């Protein structure tokens, strides 16, 4: 089929996620047809460096035959059976064991879901159930953060702090509060990063006191905010949050959907920041995005209560631990271990990206260049003032579109440009990424001048 035919059919029948339907109908979609390594190809013959790993998920890169083999072998053997009631199947059991071996030592159970959003729905139900079983059923409030992303289901969007999603969402799930995010460049530049990190932790404590400790069930946060703009918190933030949480009996939920599976140079972002979460929602990199699967890693404290006192947990999804998805995830974890992918991010390509990415800070359009492991961001500013551009100029969107034209997928969140490339990216490919980003910045600067 030709590009124009695809575009027409797409326009006529397909409502895309997170898309302005009318704008898409006017502009037409990009048809991605195949991919290998860190490159995608479109129907018009362009080869594009995918610095977003799809949607932060294709950690092992495209075209891994071993993952295709794992899926097909499992589909032949047992394409579907569920894990409901008292059944299971080998891939789900093996994956559960493998995951718990990689997770922090106090996490020895996993509940499978089909996605990160379903994982966060599961989190919400688990924390409230846990406290009810502990005889503290008033503990229902969950504190999350402004501009956090926890998914698109009603619970996911309620936990998330995305203002435009809340504006469209109608009534959200009750008893979820939001506190300020540790976004120094965006909200804290009148003070030092460390002072700002402590202020954000203090805001969490103030919210706990306002709601009453006896009413607060959990605090949920991403180690590094992804969709909010690759926001790496100031060094002081997580230690200060840990201190606050230690003063009160409140569960910690660390959303590892993006940071899990090597993105920050450890198996989990929680390990990088020395956190001991009670629950960790996971997805994306778990299967390198080859098949949809998510889950919640459950700490012993919660698991013991749910198991010993909970009776039946009336919760689950048809595709919880789907055999083919579980087989692919298992193979993905095996490959990551065999190839030392996580160590490579920590000791080699992560530091190399940091060094190369930092050179972009000297570009007139860049107010800040930050990265950690293989996640990074550039803050676009007006060279004349060093401050943000007027929103109406759409500098970020312009830069994103120019990136595409230059053969680079770099996403924009407002005027923040973000990257999260496949973890298998090489040093030479990082050089190419940074070169393409610089070219796109030059072109963006020319067009905005």
Least distance (Å) from ligand PLP to the CB of residue 125?
Answer: 16
Please identify, among the stretches 93-101, 116-124, 237-245, 367-375, the one whose residues bind ligand PLP according to the rule CB under 6 A: 116-124
Side by side, which strands form the sheet with 39-42? Answer: 32-36, 39-42, 47-50, 408-409
**With binding defined as CB under 6 A, does residue 283 bind ligand PLP?**
yes
Question: Would you say 365 and 380 are in contact if contact means Cβ atoms under 8 Å apart?
Answer: yes
**CA Rg, the chain, in Å?**
22
Least distance (Å) from ligand PLP to the CB of residue 242?
Answer: 20
Per-residue DSSP letter, 84:
S
Which residue from 83, 115, 140, 420 is in contact with ligand PLP, where contact means CB under 6 A?
115
Q: Which residue is nearest to ligand PLP (CB)?
A: 116
DSSP symbols for 199-230:
HHHHHHHHHHHHH-GGGEEEEEE-SSBSTTT-
CA quadruple 185, 189, 193, 199: dihedral sign: negative
Which residue from 258, 271, 306, 372 is in contact with ligand PLP, where contact means CB under 6 A?
258
Nearest one of 291, 338, 341, 322 to 67, comparing CA atoms = 291
Please identify, among the stretches 187-195, 220-228, 261-269, 305-313, the one whose residues bind ligand PLP according to the rule CB under 6 A: 220-228
Least distance (Å) from ligand PLP to the CB of residue 42?
Answer: 23
One character per residue 372-411, x = contact with ligand PLP (rule: CB under 6 A): ----------------------------------------
Q: Which helix (H) or strand (E) holds 354?
A: helix 350-358
Which residue in the block uniquely carries the two structure tokens 């180690």? 223
Number of residues that bind ligand PLP (CB under 6 A): 16
One character per residue 120-139, x = contact with ligand PLP (rule: CB under 6 A): x-------------------
Question: Would you say 270 and 244 are in contact if contact means Cβ atoms under 8 Å apart?
Answer: no
Which residue from 91, 116, 260, 321 is in contact with ligand PLP, where contact means CB under 6 A?
116
Least distance (Å) from ligand PLP to the CB of residue 154?
Answer: 12
203: number of Cβ within 10 Å: 18
One character per residue 327-366, x = contact with ligand PLP (rule: CB under 6 A): ----------------------------------------
Least distance (Å) from ligand PLP to the CB of residue 384?
Answer: 34
- The SS3 assignment for 407 reads coil
Nearest one of 54, 116, 112 to 81, comparing CA atoms = 112
Which residue from 59, 83, 117, 332 is in contact with ligand PLP, where contact means CB under 6 A?
117
Alpha-carbon distance of 288 to 272, in angstroms, equals 20
**With binding defined as CB under 6 A, does residue 151 bind ligand PLP?**
yes
Least distance (Å) from ligand PLP to the CB of residue 258?
Answer: 5
Question: Which residue lies nearer to ligand PLP by CB, 293 or 365?
Answer: 293
Alpha-carbon distance of 311 to 305, in angstroms, equals 10
- Read off the tokens for 370: 């930050």
- Read off the tokens for 323: 């055999």
For ligand PLP, the binding residues (CB under 6 A) are: 55, 115-117, 120, 149-151, 222, 226-227, 255, 257-258, 283, 294
């Amino acid at each position: 089929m030709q590009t124009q035919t695809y575009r027409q059919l797409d326009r006529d029948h397909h409502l895309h996620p997170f898309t302005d339907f009318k704008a898409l109908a006017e502009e037409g979609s990009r048809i991605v047809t195949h991919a290998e390594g860190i490159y995608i190809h479109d129907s018009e013959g362009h080869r594009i460096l995918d610095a977003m790993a799809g949607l932060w998920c294709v950690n092992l890169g495209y075209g891994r035959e071993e993952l295709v083999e794992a899926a097909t072998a499992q589909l032949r053997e047992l394409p579907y059976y569920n894990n409901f009631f008292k059944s299971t199947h080998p891939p789900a059991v093996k994956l559960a064991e493998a995951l718990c071996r990689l997770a922090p030592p106090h996490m020895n159970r996993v509940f499978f879901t089909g996605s990160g959003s379903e994982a966060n729905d599961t989190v919400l139900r688990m924390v409230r159930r846990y406290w009810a079983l502990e005889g503290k059923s008033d503990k229902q409030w969950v504190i999350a953060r402004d501009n956090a992303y926890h998914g698109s289901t009603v619970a996911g969007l309620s936990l998330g702090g995305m203002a435009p999603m809340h504006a469209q969402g109608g009534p959200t799930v009750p008893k979820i509060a939001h506190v300020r995010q540790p976004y120094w460049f965006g909200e804290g530049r009148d003070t030092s990063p460390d002072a700002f990190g402590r202020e954000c932790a203090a805001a969490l404590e103030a919210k706990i006191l306002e709601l009453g400790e006896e009413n607060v069930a959990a605090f949920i946060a991403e180690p590094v905010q992804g969709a909010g703009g690759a926001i790496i918190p100031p060094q002081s933030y997580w230690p200060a949050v840990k201190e606050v949480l230690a003063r009160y009996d409140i569960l910690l939920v660390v959303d590892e959907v993006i940071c899990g599976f090597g993105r920050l140079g450890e198996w989990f972002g929680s390990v990088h920041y020395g956190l001991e979460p009670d629950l960790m929602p996971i997805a994306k990199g778990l299967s390198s995005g080859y098949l949809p699967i998510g889950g919640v890693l459950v700490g012993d404290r919660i698991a013991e209560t749910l198991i010993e006192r909970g009776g039946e947990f009336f919760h689950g999804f048809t595709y919880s631990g789907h055999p083919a998805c579980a087989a692919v995830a298992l193979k993905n974890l095996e490959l990551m271990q065999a190839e030392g992918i996580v160590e490579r991010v920590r000791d080699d390509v992560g530091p190399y990206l940091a060094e190369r990415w930092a050179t972009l800070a000297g570009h007139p359009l860049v107010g800040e260049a930050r990265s950690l492991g293989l996640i990074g961001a550039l803050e676009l500013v007006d060279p004349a003032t060093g401050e943000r551009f007027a929103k109406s100029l759409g500098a970020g969107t312009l830069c994103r579109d120019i990136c595409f034209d230059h053969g680079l997928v770099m996403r924009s969140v407002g005027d923040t440009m973000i990257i999260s490339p496949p973890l298998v990216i090489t040093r030479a490919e990082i050089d190419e990424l940074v070169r393409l980003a610089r070219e796109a910045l030059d072109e963006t600067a020319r067009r905005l001048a």
